[in-house]
Amino acid sequence: MEITTQVLLWAFGLAFILGVVATKTNFCTMGAVSDVVNIGDTGRMRAWVFAMGAAILGVLVLGQLGLVDMSLTASNDTANPPYRTPIFAWPRNVLGGIIFGIGMTLGSGCGNKTILRIGGGNIKSFFVLLMMGIAAYLMIFTNFSYDFFISWMEPAFVDLGAHDIEDQSISSIISGFSGFDATITSLLVAALLGVMLIQWALSSKDFTHSFDNILAGFVVAGVVVAAWWVTTGEMGVELLDEVDMMDERPFAVGAQSFTFVQPSGHLLRWIETGFSTQMVTFALVAAGGVLLGSFLYSLVMRKFRFEWFNSWKDFLSHIVGGFLMGVGGVLAMGCTIGQAVTGVSTLALGSFITFAAIVFGSALTMKIQYYGMVYEEESNFFKALVASLADMHLLPNKLRQLEKV
């Protein structure tokens, strides 16, 4: 059990750093979308994208040095989740991402931000976490996910293995269809994508003129890459060998980095099992690290503030948002960090799709809310939806019944 303890301690320590820095810099993926939609500021969005690019390059460097084995992320037996599995479940990425994006907007923040807010004294976020946990529990530990989603989505899944493609990483897909050398293609694709994402982030003063944005981008990428080193490097391989010899295998062990929807479901399962050590997972311990980091930073900087709902409507919005995040996060196999940084760092095509779907779902929800506030008396959901889709150039302007705001 010594190696298991080491891995969990690494998870806690890295997550603690993330909790401190994310609280200090106000790193918030929902806030990033909101800044772009409402005020046209791209700083926090660029911090998010910078983290993606830096994580891709970080994993690439560690891979070239032989310090990580990212092939582990393609197998259901060795990864949680298997980002690069050859079964390309794109409907999960699209619908799950949209549902999660809607949920994080209604719930005032993604899974990571919810934990950060709790650490800062936000009681509203405790209810969001509870609802997210209930939904994640249903999706992970019952037939809810299959009955309501997977059963009808499965026929649309694409088995890339049937086309002699090793996994769903973008580099594997390119090399599979083109016949290019897989190793060289992987190196070139990772380098090109990583540099392009970082270059886009650096191309605006919205990002470069904010030390907090730069710090957040570096740290988020750094802890994600470090977690891959822990779980797919020497320690991770040793851990997999150790658990294979156990009578009762710990839950959700294997190649993984940070994600913040699973922990809420794991927490409820841990309580249900009488605090079984089998349910002390990497994700659960990481959530504890983020919570403590946020809490201590808030106390030291005197930013700890209790916050409560301002109305029953506010309460209902957060409850619904938390539930949708739990459903969407598990369905999409990750959240704004779990897919859009951790998953993207593996070059999994599904992770990029999830990122786009989350941004779309969140942006659309914000626009609908805004139209509802501006045109309070003459608006309804359908009118606000049409106007929002027209704003996003997904419907012709002639269909709108509300003037653009």
130 within 8 A of 322, measured Cβ to Cβ: yes
Residue-level pLDDT at 176: 93
Residue 400 lies in a domain: no
Residue 232 lies in a domain: yes
Contacts of 30 (CB under 8 A, 6+ apart): 104, 105, 108, 109, 110, 113, 336, 362
**Boundaries of domain holding 258:** 2-155+164-374
In a 13 Å sphere around the CA of 11, the CA atoms on its Cβ side amount to 27
Residue-level pLDDT at 246: 80
pLDDT digits (tens, 9 = 90+) for 84-97: 999 999 999 999 99
Domain count, the chain: 1
pLDDT (average), residues 151-155: 97
Residue 357 lies in a domain: yes
Residue-level pLDDT at 359: 97
Q: How far apart are CA 173 and CA 85, in angstroms?
A: 12
Residue 398 lies in a domain: no
Q: Please check the confidence at residue 1 and state whether its pLDDT lies above 70.
A: no
Report the DSSP beta bridge partners of residue 348.
169
Residue 382 lies in a domain: no
Report the DSSP beta bridge partners of residue 380.
none
The amino acid sitting at 301 is M
DSSP 295-343: HHHHHHTT----B--SSHHHHHHHHHHHHHHHHHHHHTT--TTIIIIII
Residue 404 lies in a domain: no
pLDDT digits (tens, 9 = 90+) for 337-350: 999 999 999 999 99
pLDDT (average), residues 137-155: 97
Residue 391 lies in a domain: no
Residue-level pLDDT at 247: 73
pLDDT (average), residues 348-374: 96
Q: Which two tokens stand for residue 272?
A: 């249900």
Residue-level pLDDT at 350: 98
Query: Phi/psi at 221 (nearest 5 deg)?
Result: -65, -45
In a 13 Å sphere around the CA of 170, the CA atoms on its Cβ side amount to 20
The amino acid sitting at 78 is T
pLDDT (average), residues 18-34: 96
Residue 269 lies in a domain: yes
The dihedral over CA atoms of 214, 218, 224, 230, expressed in degrees to the nearest 10, equals -160
Entry pTM:
0.96
Residue-level pLDDT at 251: 93
Percent of the chain exceeding pLDDT 70 equals 100
Q: Please check the confidence at residue 264 and state whether its pLDDT lies above 80.
A: yes
Residue-level pLDDT at 248: 78
pLDDT band at residue 378 under the 50/70/90 scheme: confident
Q: Please check the confidence at residue 190 and state whether its pLDDT lies above 80.
A: yes
Residue-level pLDDT at 337: 96
pLDDT digits (tens, 9 = 90+) for 277-320: 999 999 999 999 999 999 999 999 999 999 999 999 999 999 99
pLDDT (average), residues 245-259: 89
